[in-house]
Structure formats: structure tokens, C-alpha cells
Chain A
Amino acid sequence: MLNLLWTIPVFPFLGFLILLFFGERLPRKILALVGAGSVGVSAAVTSLVAYAFITNPPEGHAFHQVLWTWISVGDFHPQIAFYLDALALVMAGVVTGVGFLIHVYSIEYMGTDKDFARFFACMNLFVFAMLVLVLADNLLLLYIGWEGVGLCSYLLIGFWYREPANCTAAQKAFIVTRVGDTVMAIGFFLLVVQLGTLDVQGLMERAQSEWGPASGMATLAALLLLGGAVGKSGQLPLQTWLPDAMAGPTPVSALIHAATMVTAGVYLIARTHVLFELSSTAMMAVAVVGCLTLLLAGFSALVQTDIKRVLAYSTISQIGYMFLALGVGAWSAAMFHFMTHAFFKALLFLAAGGVIHALHDEQNMFKMGGLWKQLPVVFWTFLIGSAALAGIPLIDAGFYSKDAILWAAYSSEHGSFLLWLGAWIGAIMTSIYTFRMVFISFFGEAKNHVHHKPGLTILIPLIILAALSLVAGFIELPHNMGHIQMFSHFMGTAFESAGEHAQTMAEPGGEAMFQILAGVGSLAGVLIAWWFFLKNPASADSLASTPTGSRLHHFWKSGWGFDAFYDKVFVQPFRWISEVNKADIVDGFYSAIAGATQLTHSVLSLTQTGRVRWYAAWVTVGSVMILGALLFK
């Protein structure tokens, strides 16, 4: 059964090829069937593989499948090979499962778009690339998937390319992530050159045996990989592309820019966790990046008016949590949060998409209002997603996964009180901005008319995701509340150190206090949001209209001025240089060669006088010189 592994990425790729070549000719029903069906088949195969993997784990809890050797030159034998362990399985399951639901949703959401086939082709290609990324056995294949998802992200952000702003957003996303990718590629080169293999598992073993803990080389390599991860995952300092990426269609935001692609950075760090564990500096960097990002993005999310931008900032913030978890060595907590986040954030995006669709592409929250009566299913699912995002205690998945991270941030050997405090403040912020969004868009007076109600293909994915957002948390409960560790036991097969980590967590009294604090924090956030944005909206406005308030409001809304800063520091100097270099200074060298050639030509053509005697004279000179050279050498 495990041998079916290779078919998981193949189905979306076949779907992509069919859509690419016959997309214009086939009727929409068949397009939808191919587009969503290919991912559905892939999801089914994934669950079969998962069943086989869990009931009958392969040796070493990892399955390795070599399809063929790509090229073989000297010592260089990159293979097309897949590697399945618990980590890859969870990723692949989320990519295909959530991906399938989003594809089904898209059938109706994109139903009237004239580029229906192109949309599904890109989506299928994305799922293929993402699966290659998570299942890759070596760095080369991983890099192909990594760049493949980047390409699809670009194509889909700029899906409505007739709008110049969308193209700009797509280019921004592509260029900013490219910065990270370049750093990461350097990291890959370093690993390959120093350790001499492309194979990820081999690399990890050699890193451990050759570099040992606290080596400078390991720190450098880990930091370079971190550079790639922050680019892809929208973390500080490369987070600026993600809010703009919301220019794409909402299912794209849900699939690529919330559930799967942006967590590729988390996956990369988890995949190379052995390397990171060798360097406490790199671990610290990951944790600090995550903590700062979650705070920054939380404050920015608080003041956005566009519902998708709120969700985008919250995505950045939640991935910040994952990074924090990675940075403190809580690998399985990070993956747990990744999974629950994929469910509830996809749910939130899809529900928001339902609202946007119903209101004819209205994305401004302040023009929504009072929707809970008109769109009940969307409202309830959105509420469940919000509760999960805010981490309302006990009932939903988000609470358990976030609590695991908060506790790890404090208790693990890499953790500290400051990290916990940052994460806790971030949790309160999360809760405030989430319920601000809920209250503004679904409560209050109706400001806009619902044009048409979403159909079943939109509602069913919402309901499934809502159910998952509620129950997915129960597979991993803290030991003082049921003590279920299915997930961390399963993930422990991929992370050797997770077992040790579980021991350090066993400190019952303290943990309960932190859980209460976390719960109180998120409930307080809901209350604050209720007070400012539903009960007493005028007080929020007056707070925002004080000089400091308005300045902060503006500052946060523009994402802490990062865009302006990058514009000043990178974009404008670059423009200036390109202005200076309009005549292409480097090219001047080559033009000079051409010019010299031409000059020589014109000088030489002067010797072509057409006179026979002149030629004879030069022949004589030549003979004299050759003879002289022979005689008097």
C-alpha cells in the first residue's frame, strides 16, 4: 500500500496537464471534475497510505521510495525519490485534504469566471508542487517543489491580471520570496558542499556526526535555511508580500497563502530540525523571529478594514506561533498548530470568501454588518473558525495547539518567560482582532444587501472544515486534561527529541496556571472586542482619533511601515541605480569590444586600396619580416 506513495503527486499533475492542454475545449462540468477530482483522488490515496503507515509502520518509521536516478555524474546522483515519515504524512494529508475541500469550494466560487480552466490548472499544479516539496527525499527535489509553489503563488495572485495592482502584488510576492529563496539556495549549496550529499536524511546524520553541537558551520547553514523559511512563510523581515498577496481569488488565499504554501518554511525547519538543534543561536533566532512576527502582525491585523487583510495578518501571526514553537524545540507542537491552523484558517478564508461572494466582491468589513441572519451557515462556520483562531478555551482545536506552544515557550530548555509573554500578548491580540472582525462584519446593522446565497458546494466544505476545527484538537490533549498524546507520539517517530521534550513538560501545577492565563487572555480579548466594536463603537473611534492613536493606527495599518522602509532602502536606490545605469554601464564593455572591432575594421580597410603594387609591397614586407624573424631569432 505504501508503494502507492508516488501516485499522490501524480494525480494533480495529470489534472494540470489535462486542464492545460484541453482546458479551452472541455465543458465546465468536466473541468471541475478533473480539477477537483484529481486532488480528491490524491487525497484518497493519501488516506490509504496514511492508514498503511499508521497500522503497519515501516522500519524506522519512514518509507523511502526511489523512482529513478535523475542524472549520474561522478559522485553526484540526485534521485527522484520520495520520503514519507510522520511529518511528511501530516503535511501531505493537509495539502490534499484541505486542498480537496478548497477545490470543491472553488467550483462554485469561480463558477462564473471565464478563466475557469486556467484557475484549476494552476491550482492543480500548485498541489503537485507542494506535494513534491513535502515528499521530497533530497534537497534538489525539495527545491523544485519550493520554486514550483512560488511560481503557482505568482500565477494565482496575479490571476486577474487585467488589474495592474494584482500584477504588482504578484511581482512583489515573487520578488520578496525570491530574496529568501536565494538565501536558502546558498544554504543548500553550503550543506551540499560541506557534507557532500543531497539526501536530506543523510545530510542530517552527517551534520550531527561531522559538525557537532554549537559549531559555526551548523549555525550558518541553519540561519541560511531560516532565511528561506522566513521568505516563504511571511515572517519578519520578509513578511510584506503576504498581505498584498490577498489580491488573488479567495480560494487561492485559503489554499496557498494560509493553509499550505506559507507553512513550507515551518516544514523546512521541521525537516532539518537536527541541523537547528545543533545550534542554539539558530534556534533562538527562529524563536525570536516568530515571537516578533506574531506581535507585529497581531497589531497590524487590529486596524485593517479589509477582511482578507485581517486574515492575512493573522496568518502571519499564527505562523509566527509555529516558528516560536520550532524555535523552542517543540517540533510536534509546531506541526500540531500547523494542522489546526490549516483547518481553521482555510475555514475563515472560505467563509470570508462566501461573504465576499454574496456581497458582490465587497471586502471592506465596515460595509458588511448584520450578516448573521442573512448568511447563517457562513456565520456559524466563521464563528467556529474565529473561536479556533482566538483560542477560546476547551471547545476548539486552536486552543489546544496554541496552548501547547505557549507552554513550550515557557517550559522548554530553549524557552523563556519573555517569549511566553510575547506569545501571550499575541494571543490576546489575536482574540481582539478576530472578534473585532466577527462583530463588525456579522453584527450591527446591515449596510449591504446579500445578492445571492452560497450554494451547497460552498457550504459543505465550510461545514467539514468547521467540524475539523472543533475536533482536531482532541487528538492531543494536555496531560492534565485527558492526557491524550496521539499526535505527539505519532510525530515523535519523526522527531527523536520529542520524547525528551514531553518529559520536561511534565510539571503539572505550573501548566494549569498557564492554561488558565491563556484562556482568560483569549476570553478577555473577546470582551474587549465586544466593548469597543459592538457595544460602544464610538469609543474605538475616539481612541483612534487622538493624535497618538491616529498615528499608531496609521502605522499599524501600513504594517509597521515595512513597505515604506523597504521602498526607501531597496526599491528607490535600485530605481536610482537603474536610472543612472540607463545606458547600461556593464554593456559598455561589450560595446567597446564591438567598437574596437569596428575601428580596427575601418583602419584595416584603409589598407585595401585596390592597388596591386600596394598589395605586393605588403607581401614583400611580410616576407622580409618572416625571413628576418627566422634568421635573427
Chain B
Amino acid sequence: MTVLPVNGGLVLAAGLFAIGLLGVLVRRNLLYTLMCVEIMMNAAGLAFVVAGAKWGQPDGQVFFIFILTVAAAEVAVGLALVNQIYRRFHTLDNDSTSSMRG
């Protein structure tokens, strides 16, 4: 077996996470927000798998499966919400759905 680039994998996860977060902060389209959340979750999963590989344990991969489950449920509910919002506000701009401001 070759030496696995474990630190590199964690750095990649951090990078993907930061980019995803950037997207959440910047993009106003709700679809993009959801996609960026997916990126962030994927990055978190990547970090788990890398960590699991680092310690030679299967737990990291098990947690990736859980994250996958959460992501699937999240996307299902999130997209249904996007659908409702578009029907009511006729826009996907998440700044315009700010009627709950204090």
C-alpha cells in the first residue's frame, strides 16, 4: 500500500466546506443555497471518511452513511419548501422572504 495523503484529504474537506459556506453566504437563489449546503455536508462527510482512514476504523464511513441519509432527507424537505416558497412569493430570492424580521 502507498502512503495515503491524510492531511491533504482534511485540507480538501476544509476547502470544500469554506467554498460551500461562501456560497451560502453569497448566493441569494434558494436553489443555490441548498446546493451549497449539500457541498458543505459532503465536505463534512469527506472529513469523516478521511479521519476514519487515518485511524483505520470503519466508523468514519459509517458516519458518512448517516450524513448521506441526513442529506437525502434535507434535500427532500428543502426542495419541497423551495417549491412552496416559489408558489407563494413567485421568486427564489431568499432576501425577499424576510417577513419575520424583528
Contacts and interface: CB of A to CB of B under 8 A. Distances in A.
B88 interface: no
Nearest to A620: B21
B25 interface: yes
Contact of A616 (B24, B97, B100): B24
B102 A617 contact: no
A114 interface: no
A612 B94 contact: yes
Contacts of B99: 610
B25 A620 contact: yes
A617 B28 CA distance: 13
Nearest to A606: B102
Interface string A596-633: 00000000111111111100110010000000000000
Given A611-B94, A612-B33, A613-B94, A605 B102 contact: yes
B30 to A, nearest CB: 9
A617 B98 CA distance: 15
A613 B25 contact: yes
Nearest to A602: B102
Most buried by A among B25, B28, B33, B99: B25
A617 B25 contact: yes
Interface in B10-30: 21, 24-26, 28
A611 to B, nearest CB: 5
Given A611-B101, A613-B26, A616-B24, 4 more contacts: A608-B100, A608-B101, A613-B24, A620-B25
Nearest to B22: A620
B98 A613 contact: no
Interface in B61-102: 94-95, 97-102
Contacts of B25: 613, 616-617, 620
B95 A613 contact: yes
A611 B98 CA distance: 5
B28 A610 contact: no
Interface of A is mostly: helix
Interface string A6-19: 00000000000000
B94 A609 contact: no
A283 B100 CA distance: 78
Interface of A: 604-613, 616-617, 620
B102 A607 contact: yes
A610 B98 contact: yes
A612 B29 CA distance: 11
Contacts of A606: 102
B21 to A, nearest CB: 6
7 closest A-B pairs by beta carbon, nearest first, are: A608-B102, A610-B98, A610-B101, A605-B102, A610-B100, A609-B101, A611-B98
Contact of B95 (A611, A616, A620): A611
A608 B100 CA distance: 8
A612 B101 CA distance: 10
A607 B98 CA distance: 12
A466 to B, nearest CB: 85
A612 to B, nearest CB: 5
A607 B95 CA distance: 14
18 contacts: A606-B102, A607-B102, A608-B100, A609-B98, A609-B102, A610-B98, A610-B100, A610-B101, A610-B102, A611-B98, A612-B97, A613-B25, A613-B28, A613-B33, A613-B95, A616-B21, A617-B25, A620-B21
A125 to B, nearest CB: 58
Contacts of B97: 610, 612
A106 to B, nearest CB: 69
Nearest to B26: A613
A604 B100 CA distance: 14
A316 to B, nearest CB: 69
A616 B28 CA distance: 12
Contacts of B21: 616, 620
Contacts of B100: 608, 610
Contacts of B95: 611, 613
B100 to A, nearest CB: 4
Contacts of A609: 98, 101-102
B95 to A, nearest CB: 5
A451 B28 CA distance: 100
A428 B92 CA distance: 107
Interface in B22-44: 24-26, 28, 33
Contacts of A612: 33, 94, 97
Contacts of B102: 604-610
A608 to B, nearest CB: 3
A69 to B, nearest CB: 58
A583 to B, nearest CB: 32
B55 to A, nearest CB: 22
Nearest to A623: B21
Nearest to B95: A611
B87 to A, nearest CB: 18
Contacts of B94: 611-613
Nearest to B98: A610
A617 B94 CA distance: 14
A609 B99 CA distance: 9
A604 B101 CA distance: 11
Contacts of A604: 102
Nearest to B102: A608
B41 to A, nearest CB: 14
